[in-house]
Structure 1
Amino acid sequence: MIKKYLTKYPLWFTIIWMLVVVTYITVILTNQNILIMIGGVLVLYTANGFRAWKSERNLAIVSFIFTVVFSYILYKFLML
């Protein structure tokens, strides 16, 4: 079942997705800074935007908008 799900997406996107999930688990277990998780969200939404650009243009645009929103949130947290 997992193989069927993971073959729908390109290999580079699957690798990025897995790295972000491993980062989330590590941050949650070690009580690290939440800014690392926001950075993971930025990477994931940017990768999703590039992945979906050809076939699902609206999803790609929404992903890039979320990237800008989370970038602003990250900037505000870093300025505190």
Structure 2
Amino acid sequence: MKKQLLIVDGYNMIGSWPELVQLKKQDKMADAREALLHRLSNYAKYEGMEVIVVFDAQLVPGIQQNYKKYQLDVVFT
């Protein structure tokens, strides 16, 4: 049986989760991303699904990165 795939818009999820919004407001975006990844990892393990988290920084120059963390695929565009 194939695993289900969940693709998450990381920054939108952070902006919708009150606890993570508070971290963002305190200029702790890295902490908010880490907290989101940790929670999504737990969810993925519980549900037995594959999760890809995309952090899309529109109009911000930078280097694209892909890596695995907490058994998630994490993509910065």
TM-score by length of 1: 0.35
The structure carrying a bigger strand percent of its residues is: 2
Higher radius of gyration, 1 or 2: 1
The structure carrying a bigger helix percent of its residues is: 1
Q: Which has the higher contact order (CA 8 A, sep 6+)?
A: 2
